[in-house]
Amino acid sequence: MSLGHETREKLKSAILWALMLAGALLMALPFWVMVVTSLVKPDEVFQMPPRFWPGAFHWENYGRLFQLAPMGVYFWNSVWVATLTTLGHVLFSAMAGYAFSRLHFPHKNKVFFLFLITMMVPPQVNIVPLFFLMKTFHWLDTYLALIVPGLFGAFGVFMLRQWFNGLPRELEDAARIDGCNQWQIFWRVALPLATPALAALAIFVFINTWNSFMWPLIVTNSENIRTLPVGIATLKGSFRDTTDWTVLMAAATLSILPVVIVFLLGQKQFMKGIMAGGLKE
């Protein structure tokens, strides 16, 4: 006997949820292993069968982490650099996106097209010229070298331009009637309405900056400027037996906490920005 339409839909929904749950658990497994490894004794890391729950919680691994390296300095540097980069990137992207969406100037579409071409260039290609630029400005081993190159990007401009294209022009006309100039319209009308898109972009930029490894490794030398990913890399020895994996996993666990917090705080606006603003025209 064939199943009814409602029964088939419920079965499809149940199968879909089961597959999504299995995928979520599969992706969460490495993070769970990381946390468990940070709470066991060093001689239990590679035991077989592997542990998925520590027999005893060894919180002293986190204490040894701060004894082996200035993790507080690394952590603060990452927070400082990621926060300033995110704020600056979102502001400049919003201004450029609004300009490409609402203002009129010669060859606007051609300039925007050339701007988008930069998204096709791999970031690694820019490392050498950026390094010499930082050297010319005497910014090597300073916060400026870590922050300034990340303030600009074509993706954010494109994303916010699409969002501003979807805003009703009647709102701007009403603001002009009330006596607002172009800057006031942008700051008081367009920008508040773009909060979901701004939040989505901020999360993207913060996570990307927080996880950045190659650029901070190249432009920093001293420990007081070094960011968290570079600091964590210094904890790993040349061979497996020379690496304290419990301490390394403790550092990795601490490093993901700010990213999780930022996403949880902005997930509602993030989903709105992705679903409503990404493809608006």
What pLDDT sits at residue 89?
96
Rounded to whole angstroms, the Cα distance separating 279 from 273 reads 10
What pLDDT sits at residue 79?
94
- Burial (0-12, 13-18, 19+ Cβ within 10 Å), 142: middle
Q: What does the pLDDT look like over 60-78, one tens digit per residue?
A: 888 888 888 888 899 999 9
Q: What does the pLDDT look like over 246-270, one tens digit per residue?
A: 888 889 888 988 888 887 887 776 6
Are the C-beta atoms of 205 and 150 separated by less than 8 Å? yes
Mean pLDDT of 45-64: 79
Angle at 28 between CA 87 and CA 32, to 5 degrees: 100
| Residue 1: band (very low, low, confident or very high) from pLDDT cuts 50, 70, 90 | very low
| Residue 273: band (very low, low, confident or very high) from pLDDT cuts 50, 70, 90 | low
Query: Higher model confidence: residue 276 or residue 4?
Result: 4
Instruction: Determine if the pTM surpasses 0.75.
Output: yes
Number of H helices, E strands in the chain: 14, 0
Domains and CATH numbers, the chain: 60-277 (1.10.3720.10)
Q: What does the pLDDT look like over 84-115, one tens digit per residue?
A: 999 999 999 999 999 998 888 888 888 888 88
For residue 38, the Cα-to-chain-centroid distance in whole angstroms is 24
Are the C-beta atoms of 89 and 151 separated by less than 8 Å? yes
List C-alpha distances in Å: 64 to 57, 136, 150, 235: 14, 40, 33, 12
Mean pLDDT of 44-57: 76
For residue 132, the Cα-to-chain-centroid distance in whole angstroms is 26
Mean pLDDT of 169-186: 86
Angle, nearest 10°, between helix axes 195-211 and 245-272?
Answer: 160
